[in-house]
Amino acid sequence: MKPTQAKSSFLTLKPIEGLNGVPSLSCNPTQAKTGLEWGTLRVLAIGLASVVLSLGVAPGVAQSPSGDSARFVGAWRLAWLEQPGADGKLHRIECCGMFVFTQDGHASVQVMERNTQEQAAAGPQQYSQGGYEASYGSYKVDESAHTFTFHVEGALVPSLIGKDLPRGYEFSGRQLIVKSTRTDEHWRVCWERY
């Protein structure tokens, strides 16, 4: 059986001896007779790459956050949570938890109270059920106001789903201190970077 050349409208395929003497095909773009020439394609590819780079972002790739937004990214463990007690003063609640912020603007939080008897109303909004809080969604940081808004996409407490929860924040070393921006809620929570 004699090998023959196969031609396409773009490339000329030529049989060559491959591994272990098995024939295979090689494409030689410089032998193309019709269609776009290889050099033209190379110029188009370089031009397209230049346009994409001049926009400052590649398609499908999220830009890296900067400033305070970048400081949020990562996993945080709950250091302490303060809620108002019956006396109206803030008291630390014995609990543990984790808050995770991703670079592309997603977040997930879980908090477990060790003693559900301590659960007190920190305001009109219920965030936990049976001493456990869990929700996930997206977040957006407003650095000038020192706030971030947590948009809840899913939660243990169904009434939270679809809500935007604005939060005040401040960074102190490896800590992120968060509080509600609502005047009728008086809690504070401190998260420490893992």
167-171 long-range contacts (CB < 8 A, ≥24 apart) are 169/68, 170/146, 171/68, 171/71
Q: What does the alpha-carbon distance between residue 71 and residue 59 come to, in Å, rounded to a whole number?
A: 25
Judge whether residue 95 has pLDDT over 60.
yes
Express each pLDDT in 118-145 by its tens digit. 555 555 578 999 899 999 999 999 999 9
User: Using 50, 70 and 90 to split pLDDT, how confident is the model at 4?
Assistant: low
Global pTM reads 0.65
Q: What does the alpha-carbon distance between residue 90 and residue 122 come to, in Å, rounded to a whole number?
A: 10
Helices (H), the chain: 38-55, 67-72
Looking up tokens 């395929």, which residue turns up? Answer: 13
Q: What does the alpha-carbon distance between residue 25 and residue 38 come to, in Å, rounded to a whole number?
A: 18
Predicted pLDDT at 82:
95
- What six digits make up the tokens of 51? 């346009």
Judge whether residue 2 has pLDDT over 60.
no
* N-terminal to C-terminal alpha carbon distance within the chain: 67
**Where are the chain's structural domains?**
6-55, 67-193
Predicted pLDDT at 66:
82
Residue with more model confidence, 87 or 98: 98
User: What mean pLDDT is reported for the chain?
Assistant: 78
The structural architecture, per CATH, of the domain 67-193 is: Beta Barrel (2.40)
Average pLDDT over residues 156-185: 96
Average pLDDT over residues 148-167: 97
Q: Quick one: which H or E segment has residue 166?
A: strand 164-172
Sheet of 6-7, strand order:
6-7, 12-17, 23-28
Predicted pLDDT at 65:
79
CA 124 to chain centroid? 30
3-class secondary-structure state, position 105: coil
Predicted pLDDT at 187:
93
Express each pLDDT in 9-43 by its tens digit. 444 445 555 555 555 444 454 444 444 554 554 55
Express each pLDDT in 8-18 by its tens digit. 444 444 555 55
Express each pLDDT in 56-94 by its tens digit. 444 444 567 789 999 999 999 999 999 888 888 999 999
Predicted pLDDT at 55:
45
Q: What does the alpha-carbon distance between residue 5 and residue 23 come to, in Å, rounded to a whole number?
A: 12
DSSP string, 29-53: GGG--SSS-HHHHHHHHHHHHHHHH
